[in-house]
Amino acid sequence: MTAFEDNTNLQHLGPLIAAAAERAALKGALHVLGEADKLVPIEEGTLERSGNATAETQGATAVGAISYDGPYAVAQHERLDYRHDPGRQAKYLEQPLHAEADTVAQIAATELRAALR
């Protein structure tokens, strides 16, 4: 019998992979938050300082979340007609979320690989 034929040798991987997946989701969210902070409209820095990244496990899925709090966060993100300082923009979260997808996947792969060592 090989180690792979004996499921008891694999049972310990479930919790390790779940924890690694949640860590990967948080690290990925933090990465995107960092990129979004470079684009978020800035007047006094209130919106930028309100950025937050979290992660949790929902069933069998690790989910990362990024948010900016404040009464004008959504309007600043969605309103394409607002004028912003140079280098700052609307869609400050959406754009880096798409642009950094490959990097987030690499972060997840690295975290999961490390858990399996």
Q: Give, as one character, the DSSP assignment of residue 61.
A: E
Q: For residue 4, what pLDDT is reported?
A: 42
Phi/psi at 59 (5° precision): 65, -120
Compute the distance between CA of residue 66 and CA of residue 96 in angstroms, rounded to an integer.
Answer: 11
Exposure class string for 40-50: b at 16+ Cβ within 10 A, else e: bbbeeeebbee
User: Taking the complete model, does pTM exceed 0.85, yes or no?
Assistant: yes
For the chain, what is the domain count? 1
pLDDT, one tens digit per residue, over 53-92 is: 999 998 889 999 999 998 899 999 999 999 999 999 999 9
Residue 74 identity: V
Separation between Cα atoms, residue 117 and residue 114, nearest integer Å? 5
Residue type, 23: R
Task: State the alpha helices, DSSP H only, in the chain.
Answer: 13-37, 46-49, 73-78, 94-99, 101-116
Position 14 confidence tier, pLDDT thresholds 50, 70, 90? confident
Which of 2-6, 12-16, 87-91, 105-109 bottoms out in mean pLDDT, i.e. has the lowest? 2-6
7, burial (CB in 10 Å: exposed 0-12, middle 13-18, buried 19+): exposed
